[in-house]
Amino acid sequence: MSDVRTLLERGVGGATPQPDGFERMLRRRDRKRRNQRLAAGAVGIAFFVAAVWIVTTGGPFDRALTPGGGGTATGPTVTEPTIAPEAAGILGLPTPGATPSTPEHGRLVLYLEGGGQFTAVWVYADGRLIWGDMGDLPEGAPTEGATGFVEQHLTPAGVEFLRTQVISTGLFEHDLALLRGPDEPGFLTIKVRNGDRLVWLTWAVQENYRVPNDAPSATPEQASALGGIHSLLTDPTSWPASAWEDQDLETFVPSRYRVGLRVFPDQGPGPDLPVGARELALLPAPATDLLRLGTKVDQAFYELTTDDARALAEALIEGGLEPLAMPMVEAVVRFGLEVPYEPGNSLFVFFGPVLPHGEAVFLGPG
Alpha-carbon separation of residue 124 from 105, 152, 191, 235, 253 (angstroms): 10, 11, 12, 18, 15
Q: What is the DSSP string of 128-174?
A: EEEEE-SS-PPTT---TT--SEEEEEE-HHHHHHHHHHHHTTS--SS
Cβ(322)–Cβ(131) below 8 Å: no
Q: Does 68 bind another protein (CB under 8 A)?
A: no
**Applying CB under 8 A, does 281 fall inside the site for another protein?**
no
Among 62, 80, 86, 183, binds another protein (CB under 8 A): 183
Element at 69 (helix H, strand E) = none
- Pick the binder of another protein from 175, 248, 266, 322 (CB under 8 A): 266
Q: How far is the CB of 46 from another protein (least distance, A)?
A: 22
What DSSP letter does each residue of 23-61 carry, written as one string? HHHHHHHHHHHHHHHHHHHHHHHHHHHHHHHHHHHS-TT
Q: In the chain, at which residue ranges do the beta strands (DSSP E only) sit? A: 108-114, 119-124, 128-132, 149-154, 176-179, 188-194, 197-204, 244-251, 256-265, 295-298, 301-305, 333-338, 345-353
- Please pick, from the candidates 140, 268, 320, 343, the single residue that binds another protein as defined by CB under 8 A: 268
- Hey, what's the torsion of the CAs at 335, 339, 340, 344, to 10 degrees? -110
Q: Which of residues 301-340 bind another protein (CB under 8 A)?
A: 301
Residue 118: CB minimum distance to another protein, A: 9
152 to 181, contacts with another protein by CB under 8 A?
Answer: 179-181
Nearer to another protein, 74 or 217 (CB): 217
Instruction: State the nearest-atom distance from the C-beta of 266 to another protein, in Å.
Output: 7
Q: Interface residues for another protein in 118-147 (CB under 8 A)? A: none
- 186, 227, 249, 319: residue in contact with another protein (rule CB under 8 A): 186
What is the per-residue binding string for another protein in 10-39, x denoting contact by CB under 8 A?
A: xxxx-xxxx--xx-xx--xx--x-------
Nearest distance from C-beta of residue 321 to another protein, angstroms: 17
Binding of residue 80 to another protein (CB under 8 A)? no
What single letter denotes the amino acid at residue 99?
A: T
Q: Nearer to another protein by C-beta: 54 or 261?
A: 261
Instruction: List residues near another protein by CB under 8 A.
Output: 1-2, 4-5, 7-8, 10-13, 15-18, 21-22, 24-25, 28-29, 32, 113, 116, 179-187, 189, 204-210, 217, 260, 262, 264, 266, 268-270, 272, 301, 348, 350, 352, 361-366
